[in-house]
A and B are shown apart, each in its own frame.
Chain A
Amino acid sequence: MSEHHPEPDEDSRPWWDALARHLLTYQTCTDCNGVVFYPRNRCCHCLSDALQWHQSLGLGTVYSRTLVHRAPDPRMRDQLPYPVALIDLDEGFRMMSRLVGPDANQTPIGARVQVVFGLGPDGRPLPFFEPVDPVAAPDKRGDANGGGHETT
């Protein structure tokens, strides 16, 4: 039934292409300095087309989270229950993601997290987040640690 695949378009193709190289990207507007996410061809603050791509450091805070017991995608049923979260990235944008790692199901709201790259249900690279190791945090970003967490 619900085996959907992301459909990259002219706005999102650079974002998906960067993810394939284990880079999490976002945009800013050079006219109003607004941060833009998800990717757009016009600034959602001022409608300017002067948007620039940036690489995120992948560090953020859990804004909210839910432990999912009913998967909309049959390919994810064997992972239930799994935590889905909203992450506030330090650069000033919010995105949905999955929490991963050994303590993922217990990672609380407010926890500091870092991006790790895994695989979505269709095998496409996705940005997931795991709790920051308080000592090694800056060096343990997903794009620096050889691929990070992967899931199927």
Chain B
Amino acid sequence: MTLRNGAAIAGVAESRLGVVPGATVLTLQAEAAHAALADAGLTKSDVDAVFCAGRWGRTNLLEVSEYLGIQPQFADGTNVGGASFVYHLGHAAAAIQAGLCKVALILYGSTQRSRQERSLSVGDHKLAFQYEGPFGLPSPVGGYALAAARHMAVHGTTRAQLAEVAVAARQWAALNPAAYKRAPLSLDDVLAAPPVSEPLHRLDCCLVTDGGGAVVVVAPDIARTLPKPPIWIRGYGEALTHMVISQMPDILQSPAAAAGSRAFLMAGMQASDIDVAQIYDSFTITVLLTLEALGFCRPGHAGAFVADGRIAPGGELALNTSGGGLSYCHPGMFGIFLIIEAVRQLRGECGPRQAPRHGNALVSATGAVLSSNATCILERTS
């Protein structure tokens, strides 16, 4: 069984991004939904499936579907952290292939910056969190800091190599008018930023912004009738390994390894075939671990891999061309924005940041504290 070419992405859009005072999570999702459907050449009445996740509300799917006036015949609210929306993409493709729906709308919105909702706390110290919460690790940054520290101790990775990820992201963001942070950033700036949870300092960490996004996934027969070229799902895989970081089997082995190998197997491809990569950069270390897990380089070698401008504009690998969660936007959960940028790159809509080779794109989203990953390989032609 394969999802290959069983569904296509027809439309993508962001809502207002950055600081959006006065917006609600619902207004941002409605904005993004309208724009993504317009991008697809479809209307609200075509939608028969809704997918969403968020940190707001008790019953997100009910609330957002009601607000939009959609009564979906299929819905999924899988929530595994910021990776959720790439899970939704795979699950939408599966549902479409199974004949359960034809036009799926994936949604996200957050007002965490304007409402100052971001917290370093894991929340109540109950269930598994009672064994971690009392020790004062800030979350999620502390979990990633533990991974970064071990990567440095085991593989000799340096803070400067981590900083290369943030510097390259900023260079891409400078080419993206929608990016929140576009001013030049040097390696020294990243190294000199105040520490948060060592070895991670402030500029190793993703932004805190508001924003929303939407993605429209459709059945092949619909995809072929729409004005813009469909972006086909060629391979998909997911994996999750733990919730709390102390339960992660090997802190240097991201679940992206299992998810990625499933996606590559389905696609009949490997890392060296990929033209454009959108890899969740919650923290600089996340990119290093994911590159190793997906086979872009050998385990332990990602620090050297990202150096010397290899992932910056004009480099060997067009990586996080939007500026990523580090410089473009990060409204709490970033997975949907990886998909949006991948689709725009595949369509050739990216202007000054357009990757020269853009026949296929890999999206790899990691959620919570290296807990979950979904990896999807997209292609312009079926």
Contacts and interface: CB of A to CB of B under 8 A. Distances in A.
| Interface SS of A by simple majority | loop
A72 B195 contact: no
B125 A7 contact: yes
A109 B150 contact: yes
A120 B133 CA distance: 10
Nearest to A79: B136
A54 interface: no
Interface in A55-99: 63-73, 76, 79, 81-82, 84-86, 94-98
A2 B129 CA distance: 13
A126 B134 contact: yes
Interface string B110-151: 000000000111111111101111111111011001110110
Nearest to A67: B198
A63 B150 contact: yes
B245 interface: yes
Contacts of B81: none
B42 interface: no
Contacts of B120: 2, 70-72
A84 B131 CA distance: 13
B130 A72 contact: no
Nearest to A5: B125
A108 interface: yes
A69 B194 contact: yes
B181 to A, nearest CB: 20
Contacts of A79: 136
B155 to A, nearest CB: 12
Contacts of A94: 246-247
B147 A64 contact: yes
For chain B, which range describes its interface: under 10, 10 to 19, 20 to 34, or 35 or more residues?
35 or more
Contacts of A86: 146, 245-246, 251
Interface in A18-37: none
A30 B130 CA distance: 25
B153 interface: yes
A61 to B, nearest CB: 12
A95 B130 contact: no
Given A6-B134, A82-B136, A96-B137, A72 B121 contact: yes
B138 A71 contact: yes
B79 interface: no
Given A64-B149, A109-B150, A69 B197 contact: yes
B199 interface: yes
A66 B125 contact: no
A122 B251 CA distance: 29
A63 B153 CA distance: 10
Given A76-B136, A79-B136, 8 more contacts: A1-B121, A7-B130, A9-B127, A69-B196, A70-B120, A71-B120, A96-B135, A109-B150
29 contacts: A1-B121, A2-B119, A2-B121, A4-B123, A4-B125, A4-B133, A6-B130, A6-B133, A8-B130, A9-B130, A63-B251, A64-B149, A64-B251, A66-B149, A66-B199, A67-B195, A70-B197, A72-B121, A72-B122, A79-B136, A84-B146, A86-B245, A95-B131, A96-B131, A96-B132, A96-B135, A108-B153, A120-B134, A121-B134
